Structure 1
Amino acid sequence: MTLFLTALGLMLVIEGFLYGGIPSFAKRMAEMLLQTPDDVLRKAGLASAIIGLCLIWMARGL
């Protein structure tokens, strides 16, 4: 549970910096997401989830 809360907190910090620090960039990225086909978003999302799981697995093994 500690690892989950740490990861959630880190995600919120990164998003907070993005929206608080450079909101115009966040808006441009949101517009690009709306124009990106679903299959591309699905593949990118699955790839990043797999990479994230691998990173967690490696970090927990060290």
Structure 2
Amino acid sequence: MPKDFYAALCLVLVFEGLMLFAAPAAWQRMARQAAEMEPKTLRLVGAAALAIGVIALRFVF
């Protein structure tokens, strides 16, 4: 089980690094736009991403 958890964390790093490597300017624009958003909106977007991830994970396993 811990091996799967560490593998998942490594994949997160791969995807984050891929975005920064492939499209750094787009990532910077997104970060600027996120900085201008209300914290409540960011929290709702984060909650939605979390829920989608948990549901998708349920279908995978």
TM-score above 0.5, yes or no: yes
2:50 aligned partner: 49
1:27-42 aligned within 5 A: 27-42=28-43
Identity of aligned residues (%): 30
Gaps of 5+ in 1: none
Taking structure 2 as the reference length, what is the TM-score of the superposition?
0.86
Structure 1 Cα separation of the partners of residues 23 and 53 of structure 2: 25
| Number of residue-to-residue matches in the alignment | 60
Q: Which deviates more from structure 2 when the two are superposed, residues 29-38 or residues 6-15?
A: 6-15
Taking structure 1 as the reference length, what is the TM-score of the superposition?
0.85
Gaps of 5+ in 2: none
Structure 1 runs of 4+ off > 4 angstroms? none
1:17-36 aligned within 5 A: 17-36=18-37
Note the aligned Cα RMSD (angstroms).
1.1
Deviation at 1:3, TM superposition (A): 2.5
Deviations 1:24-49 (A, max 9, x none): 11111110010011111101101110
